[in-house]
Every structure is written in C-alpha cells, then in structure tokens.
Structure 1
Amino acid sequence: MNNLFKIIPFLLFCFVVNFAQAQEIFGNWEMTNDEGRVNCIIKIFSKQDGEVCGKVHRIVKEKHRDRICKNCEGEKKNKPIEGLELIYGLHKDGKEYSGGELINPKSGKVYKCKIWLDEDNPNKLKVRGYVAFFYKTMTWNRQQ
C-alpha cells in the first residue's frame, strides 16, 4: 500500500506532461497528399529567438529521399528536400502561429502561412497557405 502512494504522484505527473505536450504544435507531423497517404514527416520546432519553423524530417518513400528543390529560389535552390526548412517566420499570435511563409518544394512557390491546432483534436495541425484571399488549409496528423 505504501508503494501505491509513491506511484500515484508519478503517474499523475506523466499524465500531465503527456497532456501538455499534446496541446503544443511542436513535434513531428504527418503531411498527407490529396489521397490521404503520408508523403513526409514535418518537424515543427522553435528557434532560440522564438521563430517557429518546420522542416522535412523524413520523406516516407525511400526512392524520393534524394530529391532536390530545383524550383526553389535563393539559398534553398538545389538543396535536398529532406532536411529542408519549408515553413519559417511564424510567431505566436493567440492560439495560432502566423506571419510566416511556406514553400511548396515541387513548384518553388512561396505562400504566406499560419498554423494552429484543431480545437476539437490537438493531434491535428491545421496548416494554411495563402495568397491574398485565396487559401488552402491542410490537416496534418501528429506522428505517434
């Protein structure tokens, strides 16, 4: 019985840590295509200055892992897509992160971007790329 009282606080601590982590955008997310298949894993992270970014952590299909961003401009041109920072410049703004940009590595086009957790399911990340009033919102699933 005495051991039970030692284990309960530890279990509560683990539960609280896991719950808090599930409420954050940081971590690995599965980016899916229009057919619902996972293309790659995107790692969302914060830099020391507070800027939130996302990079391609892993391309799922091994035969595609050596692809480069040939249509990108500037320092990202001809860099490997795996490891490439595709989302950058985001800063917390209430419940969302906004003010950043997102690169489509196939076209090289750059879009304004914002991301936020789904209010009903913190294991789903909403990623919106937009130009003026036109936008597309993707839903990424937290990698388990």
Structure 2
Amino acid sequence: MKKLKVSLLFLAAVMSGSAFAQDLSGTWQQIDDKTGSQKAIIEIRKESNGTFVGKIIKVTPRPGYTPRDTCVNCPAPYKNKPILGLDVLTGLKHVEGTNNYDKGRIIDPLSGKIYDTKVRLNASGKRLTLRGYMGVSALGRSQTWIRQE
C-alpha cells in the first residue's frame, strides 16, 4: 500500500510538472538572436482549436533602432497593419508527450518575410527556443524568449 501511495505521488508530480511546462500561454520577452538585445513583448494565447498564437503587445526600444509603426513590407493580410497588436506567431501545435511545438508560422514585421517555425520549451517552462526557417530547419535561425512573470 505504501509503495502504491509513493508511486501515485511521484506520477502526480511528474504529470503536473509536465502539464505546466507544456503550456506556452503567457507573456514572453523576445531576444534578438543577432544582437542579444530585447526586441518585443509577445503575448501567447491558446486558441479554441488548440493552436497557439502570439501577438506583439510592446515593442522594446533599442539603441540605434527606430521602430516602425506598421508592417510596410509584409504580404497581405499583414500589409500596412500596425505592428503593435499584430499576431506574428500563428498555428503552433503542441507535439504530444514532449515540450515541443511545430507547424507554426512567424512573420518578421521588419522584413515582411514569413517563416515556418517550431518551438522547444525548456523543462522549467521559463524559456523557449523558437526556430524560424524556410523549407529546412537546419537553414533557419533561433531566438530565445523569456517568460515574463
């Protein structure tokens, strides 16, 4: 009986930790992979269809950079939309049994390019690594995002 209780407690602890780690919902600080500086605050929410969407809720000022107000070089439906409030991350799906998400798309509002994306959430749920790529993941770039409390 004692072994059963210990096993159930262990199982509950593992399941609750992994359930927390699997939720991307929240506010994230985007870090530029080239400069290491903060770029924006992104709010990620889970849609009713189970996919995740990320919206820019704040553009972080950086030395030597003047932020744009609109997505000038972006294709429709993003063209000339305000960057603040823009859903830049769409369609991201959780990969069952892992801390990975894939099949997402992300738009770079500065260049207007749209990339396939996948995400890996670290075990603590406080950092994610987002990989944007065209075609083959090995030819992409990665960014680290930090969960905001």
TM interval, short-chain normalised: 0.7 to 0.9
1:111 equivalent in alignment to 2:110: no
Rounded Cα–Cα distance in structure 2 between residues aligned with 1:58 and 1:65: 11
* Number of equivalenced pairs: 127
Using CA pairs below 8 Å that are at least 6 residues apart, which structure has the higher relative contact order? 2
Q: Which moved more, 1:74-83 or 1:53-62?
A: 53-62
TM-score normalised by L of structure 1? 0.77
Percent of pairs with identical residues: 33
Aligned to 1:91, what secondary structure does the other structure show?
strand
Aligned to 1:50, what secondary structure does the other structure show?
coil
Deviations 1:75-105 (A, max 9, x none): 2110010100001011111321111111011
One-letter code of the match for 1:105? Answer: P
Q: CA deviation at 1:38?
A: 1.4
For structure 1, the 5+ residue unaligned runs are 1-16
For structure 2, the 5+ residue unaligned runs are 1-15
Q: CA deviation at 1:20?
A: 6.1
Cα pair 2:21 2:121 within 8 Å, conserved:
no
Name the counterpart of 1:6. Answer: none
TM-score normalised by L of structure 2? 0.74
Rounded Cα–Cα distance in structure 2 between residues aligned with 1:127 and 1:24: 15
Rounded Cα–Cα distance in structure 1 between residues aligned with 2:21 and 2:67: 29
CA RMSD across the alignment: 2.5
Q: CA deviation at 1:19?
A: 9.5
